[in-house]
Amino acid sequence: VQLQASGGGLVQPGQSLRLSCAASGFALADYVIGWFRQAPGKEREVISCILGSADRYYDDEYYSDSVKGRFTMSRDNAKNTVYLQMNSLKPEDTAVYYCAPSSSRYKCSTLDASGFAGWGQGTLVTVSS
């Protein structure tokens, strides 16, 4: 299982971007999906996560403090895609962004990267004036 992130680009501080996470061959709705980022010289970090349809709290979302209130996840099951809407972007949001699936509600709710696998190619987001 591998996912493909897209939608990155160069934006100015304060602007918005929407990233997409797509898959083929399986239904994203069935899985926990996490968004991650890795800035130059730093470790990959979980920034958000959404629960899958197998969980009673389907579509509950979790966000790291660094993006809470600015980033929002959503699903379009007809397109088999998960989105990350990023508003009020800051230079410190500059990173390569990835998405990955998990079967663990606990790893999602605690934003624990160890519960995720199937990293695909990421998409670069650069926030600069």
| pLDDT average, residue stretch 17-35 | 91
**What is the pLDDT confidence band of residue 41, given thresholds at 50, 70 and 90?**
very high
- Give the three-state DSSP class for 30: helix
Predicted confidence at residue 25, as pLDDT, reads 82
Please name every residue paired with 72 in a beta bridge, in sequence order, or none if there are none. Answer: 85
Q: How far apart are CA 51 and CA 54, in angstroms?
A: 8
Q: pLDDT above 90 covers what percent of the chain? A: 66
Q: How far apart are CA 39 and CA 95, in angstroms?
A: 4
- Higher-confidence position of 81 and 52: 81
- Give the three-state DSSP class for 25: coil
For the cut 80, the answer to whether the pLDDT of residue 54 exceeds it is no
Predicted confidence at residue 1, as pLDDT, reads 65
Lowest-confidence pick of 30-34, 47-51, 58-62: 58-62
